[in-house]
A and B are shown apart, each in its own frame.
Chain A
Amino acid sequence: MGKFVQLVVDGLSTGSVYAALALAIVLVHQATGLINFAQGGMAVLSAYVAWWLTNQGLPLIVAILLAIVFSVVFGALVERWLMRRFERGDPDTAVVVTIGLLTLITGFAGWLWTYNNQQFPSLFPLDTVSFLGVSVSVRSLGTTAVIVVAMLLLQGLFVGTKLGLALRAVAINPQSAAFSGLPVGRLLMVGWGLAAALGAVAAALVAPQLTLTPGMLDNALVYALAAVILGGLTSPIGVVVAAWIIGILENLAAVYVPFIGFDLKVAVPFILIFVVLIVRPQGLFGRKTVVRV
């Protein structure tokens, strides 16, 4: 029983990392209608920035905060100078652009900081706490908590502030938003910046566990995309729930299903996807979209 609870909590924490990435992808998709395959790559870059700053002698928490600021700026710049040209065009071309960006960032990080694994200091101690007779690792609880707080902040921003209202307006209908005087271009930059920041938080939290490499979040990106498919592109809450389900299920499957084990647990979300796609093609929580010709 103790093992089971520990697995669930660990799954919840990795699920939270997937959820943050998935939410970033949904954020970008709602604003600009494209899937950013470089979301994980951008997050890794900010983790490298944080790692480099700690090596310069800065305390970890300051380094992470600075890295988040960096990724907001970086995300905004990517939107303005790279994606803007492709947003109104063919979505497939835009996707290829994000893949080019992923290759570029991975290549850049590998060239500058080598492809070797780097140790990233952990924000949380590696202790365990006893809770109702079950020991649970502090890191898992902390990771989950930080990401949930980040999501709630983001939700507050979207629901409770004027900026959030403007962002939502741009997401729903960019043209009407522009007509009513909103600076659509700048708002898109803000949207990309926020998405990048969320990714940066996830990367900083998961980096100690995975150790820092340029391809650190490739797998996490796959999980995040799976969560996006399962949750439905139109439902942020659905995506987060799906990411948690994936995180927990893959952890349980790795231990309790002998054939899957730790190496093949990446297949779990896709078995899930296959089942869901047959039963509910619009995703667990998504709506069916009707397109007019």
Chain B
Amino acid sequence: MASSPKTSASTTSAPASSATTSSASSFRQRPWVRWGAPLLLVVGLAVLPLVMTEGANDTLARIGVFAVAVLGLNVVMGYTGQVSLGQIFFLGLGAYVTAYGVQSGWNIVLVFVLTCLIPAVAGLLVALAAARLGGLAIAMVTIALPIVGVPLAKRLSDFTGGSQGLSARFVEAPEGSGLYDDQWQLYLVLVIGGIVFLMTSLLVRGKYGRAFAIVKGNENVASSMGISPYRYKVLAFTIASLIGGVSGFLYMVVVQYTSPETMSFGHSIELLVAMVIGGAGSIVGSLLGGAFYVIVPDVTNAIDPSLTALLQGALLLAVLFVLPGGLVSLPRALTRRLRRSPAGRGSAAPPTTPSSTPGSGTAAEQSETERQGHA
């Protein structure tokens, strides 16, 4: 799983990245592009809910919900390299906390804070035990979360409503705003999701992000540098759980109903599939992953519902074979292929093209060379 061009560029030391700027990244660094593009994005997202149909708004809101969930998974898996199969559990937990809080008539701000805190604490406890074992133990332990979570949710029917689940309608467009409910819901998802994305991208670009990358690249190197792999794995997992909780809150904003089925094992796998296909270790990849999670079942259900899992599995394997960086690396892979074909020099070319040397960690470099070898 290669990290994305953006993040790897930011994790390289400053002189190296300024010395090696390709035409693409210098375009991206022009001031009017740097400030104009995000501004355009914000304005676009602010206008979009007003002009789209109700169905499109709902789809976009659901994409936002699962993009946040995928982002959480990316923190622990894409950036820190710890396979987690339990992310959906934290979404479900967040959704239950929200539904229970709303039904009990608690203040919505308090509900939101609890929706962040309770999954984070649960994630912390799981990680404290699971991260003690090295390697793939986190994957082997977290696979149990959805499998234990579903019967647990059915059992604790006083809190969860058992198999019937809980519904909570608490998001209605404020009086006088002139908005429809679906527009208001989408705005909430955009704002809260946007803040989560912003904070996470700051996190993974900063000090902690570099520590995560080293833990992912080589744990022994990390500990020799005074970075405790154990502590950072636990931290990454806790943050992932917290973000999962937030996505659970957003899930209740949009779907307004949750049941044990929300956190089933199948959904947990689908979330991981979506993350890898979108692009592991990438902010944009998380958005693409959220879109994949929502759109693919919508499309396949229209054709044949029993095809969904088959298609997802096939797509995941195809992506891993052809495009290990996920959909987010597609433009880069295409430009590289275009650039290479006239040159005709094959594998000698890519290392000299600056945009393809991440230099952030051994893992990124390995998969980079692997991809060149098979491209």
Verify A91–B313 contact, CB threshold 8 A: no
In the complex, which residues of chain B have a beta carbon less than 8 angstroms from the beta carbon of A35? 136, 139-140
The CA of A28 and the CA of B312, in the complex, are separated in Å by 25
Q: Does B370 count as interface, using CB distance less than 8 angstroms?
A: yes
User: Please, which residue of chain B has its CB at the minimum distance from the CB of A115?
Assistant: B306
Q: Does B151 count as interface, using CB distance less than 8 angstroms?
A: yes
In the complex, which residues of chain A have a beta carbon less than 8 angstroms from the beta carbon of B85? 37, 99
Interface code A207-233, partner B: CB below 8 Å = 1, 0 otherwise? Answer: 000000011001101100110110000
Q: Does A267 count as interface, using CB distance less than 8 angstroms?
A: yes
The main secondary structure of chain B at its interface with chain A is: helix
In the complex, which residues of chain A have a beta carbon less than 8 angstroms from the beta carbon of B265? 215, 218
The CA of A264 and the CA of B154, in the complex, are separated in Å by 10
Q: Does A90 count as interface, using CB distance less than 8 angstroms?
A: yes
Could you tell me the distance in whole angstroms from the C-beta of A184 to the nearest C-beta in chain B?
A: 20
Within 8 A of A (CB), among B272-310: 272-273, 276, 304, 306-310
Verify B136–A95 contact, CB threshold 8 A: yes
The CA of A48 and the CA of B253, in the complex, are separated in Å by 41
Verify B309–A97 contact, CB threshold 8 A: no
In the complex, which residues of chain B have a beta carbon less than 8 angstroms from the beta carbon of A90? 1, 81, 363, 366-367
In the complex, which residues of chain A have a beta carbon less than 8 angstroms from the beta carbon of B152? 264, 267
Verify B129–A273 contact, CB threshold 8 A: yes
Q: Does A278 count as interface, using CB distance less than 8 angstroms?
A: yes
In the complex, which residues of chain B have a beta carbon less than 8 angstroms from the beta carbon of A266? 144, 147-148, 151
The CA of A263 and the CA of B133, in the complex, are separated in Å by 28
Within 8 A of A (CB), among B177-192: none
Interface code B306-325, partner A: CB below 8 Å = 1, 0 otherwise? Answer: 11111111101100110010
Could you tell me the distance in whole angstroms from the C-beta of B183 to the nearest C-beta in chain A?
A: 35
Verify B306–A111 contact, CB threshold 8 A: yes
Q: Does A102 count as interface, using CB distance less than 8 angstroms?
A: yes
Contact of A101 among B132, B266, B307, B313 (CB under 8 A): B313
Contact of B320 among A93, A105, A293 (CB under 8 A): A93
Could you tell me the distance in whole angstroms from the C-beta of B276 to the nearest C-beta in chain A?
A: 5
Q: Does B155 count as interface, using CB distance less than 8 angstroms?
A: yes
Verify A225–B143 contact, CB threshold 8 A: yes
Could you tell me the distance in whole angstroms from the C-beta of B93 to the nearest C-beta in chain A?
A: 15
From known contacts A115-B306, A281-B132, infer whether A103 and B1 are also in contact, taking CB-CB under 8 Å. Answer: no
Could you tell me the distance in whole angstroms from the C-beta of A32 to the nearest C-beta in chain B?
A: 13
Within 8 A of B (CB), among A240-293: 261, 263-264, 266-267, 269-270, 273-274, 277-278, 281, 291, 293
User: Please, which residue of chain A has its CB at the minimum distance from the CB of B216?
Assistant: A92
Contact of B317 among A104, A106, A274 (CB under 8 A): A104
Residues of B in contact with A (beta carbons under 8 Å apart)? 1, 77, 81-83, 85, 129-130, 132-133, 135-137, 139-141, 143-144, 147-148, 151-152, 154-155, 218, 220-221, 224, 265-266, 269-270, 272-273, 276, 304, 306-314, 316-317, 320-321, 324, 363, 366-367, 370
A-B contact pairs, 12 of them (CB 8 A): A95-B83, A96-B316, A100-B317, A106-B313, A107-B310, A107-B314, A226-B140, A229-B141, A264-B151, A266-B151, A270-B148, A278-B129
